[in-house]
Amino acid sequence: MGSYYKHTKTETVHIPYSFRCEQCMKDSGTQNAVITVQAQLNSNFRHLSEGKQQKLAEMAHAKLVKAVKDARAEAAEKQVYAAAFRDECPHCRAPQSWAVSGAKKDLFTVPVILFVFGILLGTGCYFTLENADRLMIAAGCAGICFALAAAVLIFNLIKIGKKKSRTANVLQQNKPVIEWSAVQGLLEER
Ligand SMILES: [Zn+2]
């Protein structure tokens, strides 16, 4: 394997939003959802050529456009709000019912990544090591990842359960008001 350099480019956008707290009924005031994406390009060179730099920038931008479009589609069509739209009331710290569906959507994201990583790490160990006990080492590495995946899954389930129970008895369920017009330019890109 030749050595290579990892070049990354991060793009961020702020989307203003506000909500009326379901617990204390106060207006949250303008909050900022921060959506961040990162593109990556591997190269044999420490410095990217101008063309490659531009390609990397375009990749990052395309990712950002997709993330914003996805967030809007999920919010508009399914009332599922991305985690970037934090639901903690700035006055009383209470969570809001509209954030439960978003938390449910993210339930498996990290556990699945850990699980897949465990499989890759396990097989990687098995096929690259030459020790007699490589199977044990491979199983151990994979096992740690699987245990972590299970722990995160349980943690997420507890978190969702708490949010659900704390928002179950509100008198009126509200929804956040998101100022998509602030990112109109991105939404209109193809
Ligand atoms: Zn509140």
**Distance between CA atoms of 63 and 50, rounded to whole angstroms?**
20
pLDDT of residue 190: 80
Q: First-to-last CA distance in the chain?
A: 38
Ligand 1 centroid from CA 12, angstroms:
28
Torsion from C-alpha of 93, 106, 9, 3, nearest 10 degrees: 130
pLDDT of residue 187: 95
Q: How does pLDDT run across 89-113, given as a tens digit for each residue?
A: 999 999 999 999 999 988 999 999 9
Ligand 1 centroid from CA 132, angstroms:
60
Q: Which amino acid is at 34?
A: V
Q: Domain-by-domain residue ranges, the chain?
A: 1-96+174-190, 103-169
Counting as low any pLDDT under 70, the low residues of the chain are 1-3
Ligand 1 centroid from CA 109, angstroms:
29
With residue 80 as reference, give the H or E element that holds it. none
List, in order, residues 6 or more apart from 138 with CB less than 8 Å away: 121, 122, 123, 124, 125, 126, 129
Q: Is the whole-model pTM more than 0.75?
A: yes
Ligand 1 centroid from CA 172, angstroms:
13
Q: Which two tokens stand for residue 39?
A: 């593109």
Ligand 1 centroid from CA 28, angstroms:
8
Ligand 1 centroid from CA 77, angstroms:
26
pLDDT of residue 45: 87
Ligand 1 centroid from CA 98, angstroms:
14
pLDDT of residue 111: 96
**Distance between CA atoms of 29 and 154, rounded to whole angstroms?**
33
CA 6 to chain centre: 21
pLDDT of residue 153: 96
User: Which residue, among 189, 183, 190, 185, has the nearest Cα to 75 in the 3D structure?
Assistant: 183
- Say if residues 177 and 21 touch (Cβ distance below 8 Å): no
pLDDT of residue 131: 82
Give backbone dihedrals phi and psi of 24, rounded to 5 degrees, phi first: -100, -5
User: Which residue, among 128, 81, 72, has the nearest Cα to 103 in the 3D structure?
Assistant: 81
Structure letter (DSSP) for residue 180: G
- Say if residues 22 and 170 touch (Cβ distance below 8 Å): yes
pLDDT of residue 3: 66
The β-bridge partners of 27 are 20
Ligand 1 centroid from CA 87, angstroms:
10
